[in-house]
Amino acid sequence: MAQRASTASKKSAQVSTQVIRDLHERMVRIRLFETEAGKLMEAGKLPGFLHLYVGQEAVAAGVMAALRDDDQITSTHRGHGHAVAKGVGFREMYAELYGRVTGACLGRGGSMHINDLARGMLGANGIVGAGVPIAVGAAFAARYKGEDSVAVTFFGDGATNIGAFHEGANMAAILGLPVIFVCENNGYAEFTPQSRHMLLTDVADRAAAYGMPSVIVDGMDAVAVHRAAAEAVARARSGAGPMMIEAKTYRYFDHQGVKGLRHPYRSDEEVAEWKARDPIDLIEARAVADGAATRAELDGVWRRTRDEIAEAVAYAEASPLPEPADLLLNVYSG
Amino acid sequence: MTTTTQAPGVPPVAASRKLTYVKAFNEGLAQAMREDENVFVAGEDVAGYGGVFRMFDNLLDEFGPRRMIDTPISEAALVGLGVGAAARGLRPVVDLMFMDFIGVCLDQIVNQAAKMKYMFGGAVSVPLTITTASGAGLGAAAQHSQSLEAWLAHVPGLKVVMPCDAYTAKGLTVSAIRDDNPVVVMLNKVLLGSPGEVPEEIYGIPLGRAHTARQGSDVTVIALGRMVGEALAAADELAAEGVQIEVIDPRTVQPLDTETMFASVRRTNRVLVVHEAVTFGGLGAEIAAQIQDAVFDHLDAPVLRIGAPFSPVPFSPVLEKAYVPDRARIAQGCRRLLERS
Ligand SMILES: Cc1ncc(C[n+]2csc(CCOP(=O)(O)OP(=O)(O)O)c2C)c(N)n1
The CB of B104 under 6 Å from ligand 1? The reply is yes
Residue B228's contacts (CB-CB under 8 Å, 6 or more residues apart) are: B164, B165, B213, B247, B249
Q: Which of A51, A54, A57, A128 to mutate to test the pocket of ligand 1 (most atoms within 8 A of CB)?
A: A128
Interface A-B, measured as beta-carbon pairs within 8 A, has a size of 128
DSSP alpha helix (H) spans, chain B: 21-35, 59-67, 75-87, 106, 116-119, 149-153, 166-178, 227-239, 258-268, 283-295, 317-323, 327-339
Q: What is the pLDDT of residue A15?
A: 87
Amino acid letter for position A147: E
**Given this model, what pLDDT does residue B120 score?**
96
Mean pLDDT across the stretch A46-55? 97
Per-residue confidence band for B341, with pLDDT thresholds at 50, 70 and 90? low
- Please answer yes or no on whether A263 and B50 come within 8 Å at the CB atom: yes
Nearest CA to CA, how far is A15 from chain B (Å)? Answer: 38
Q: What is the mean pLDDT of chain A?
A: 95
**Closest by alpha carbon to B209, among B151, B161, B166, B156?**
B161
pTM for the structure as a whole:
0.94
Taking Cα atoms as reference points, which of B48, B121, B54, B106 lies closest to residue B76?
Answer: B106
HSE, side-chain direction, 13 A CA sphere, residue A103: 29
Distance B189 CA to ligand 1 centre (A): 18
Q: Is the pLDDT of residue A275 over 60?
A: yes
Q: Are B44 and B51 in contact (CB under 8 A)?
A: no
The span from the CA of A115 to the CA of A97, in Å, is 12
Q: What is the pLDDT of residues B232-268, one digit of tens each?
A: 999 999 999 999 999 999 999 999 999 999 999 999 9
List residues bridging with B220 in a β-sheet: B246, B271
Across the range B168-196, mean pLDDT stands at 98
CB atoms within 10 A of CB B278: 20
How far is ligand 1, taken at its centre, from the CA of residue B273, in Å? 36
Q: What CA–CA distance (Å, rounded) separates A309 from A311?
A: 5
Q: What is the pLDDT of residues A72-99, one digit of tens each?
A: 999 999 999 999 999 999 999 999 999 9
Supply the ipTM of this predicted assembly: 0.92
Does the pLDDT of residue A261 top 90, yes or no? no
Q: How far is CA A32 from CA A144, A255, B57, B98, B323, in A?
A: 39, 18, 35, 31, 34
pLDDT of res. B36:
98
**From ligand 1's centre to the CA of A162, what distance in Å?**
10
> Shortest CA distance to A170 belongs to which of A134, A212, A139, A205?
A212
Are B139 and A256 a contacting pair, CB within 8 Å?
Answer: no
Q: Could you report the per-residue pLDDT of A57-70, keeping only the tens digit for each?
A: 999 999 999 999 99
Which amino acid makes up residue B326? Answer: D
Q: Is the model's pLDDT at A276 over the cut of 80?
A: yes
Q: So what's the pLDDT on residue B15?
A: 55
What is the rounded CA–CA span in Å between residue B228 and residue B168? 12
- Which A positions 90-109 lie with beta carbon below 8 A of chain B? 96, 99-101, 105, 107-109
CB A164 within 8 A of CB A132: yes
Predicted confidence (pLDDT) per residue in B203-218, tens digit: 999 999 999 999 999 9
The predicted pLDDT at position A263 comes to 77
Considering chain B, what percentage of its residues have pLDDT values greater than 70? 95
Q: Which of B45, B48, B317 sits opposite A47 (nearest CB)?
A: B317
Which chain B residues in 78-117 lie under 8 Å from chain A, judged by CB atoms?
Answer: 100-101, 103-104
Nearest atom, ligand 1, residue A156 CA: 15
- CB contact, 8 Å: A192 with chain B? yes
